[in-house]
Amino acid sequence: MKSAYELAMERLNKQSPTAKLTAEQKDRLAELDSRYKAKIAEREIGLKDAILQARVQGDRAEMEKLELQLTDEKKKLATELEEKKEAVRHGRK
């Protein structure tokens, strides 16, 4: 007898079967992950220096503005990455 979990997984697979990725798609996804990890690190380095500078100068408003900017840029890059990964998964470049 199957568990409720197994039955639910069968129904889920019937509704949207798991797509098999080709080696090329896997390579492209890994490349995208690497590229965006580097972009995020680059923005963190640049803005963290500016945040530290604002902290040293005692400019709390500037520090908060830069922290918000960093958060927004990281979210934007993460969203962009997911869009590109979805395109690769669905066979679009």
Ordered by start, the domain boundaries in the chain are 23-89
Identify the burial level of 66 via C-beta atoms within 10 angstroms of its C-beta, where 0-12 means exposed, 13-18 middle and 19 or more buried: buried
Quick: pLDDT tens for 41-55: 999 999 999 999 999
- With contact defined as beta carbons under 8 Å apart, do 67 and 43 qualify? no
Distances (CA, A) of 15 to 11, 21, 53, 69, 89: 6, 18, 53, 40, 18
Q: Does residue 15 have a pLDDT over 80?
A: no
Taking the model in full, what pTM does it have? 0.73
42: left (phi over 0), alpha (psi -120 to 50) or beta: alpha
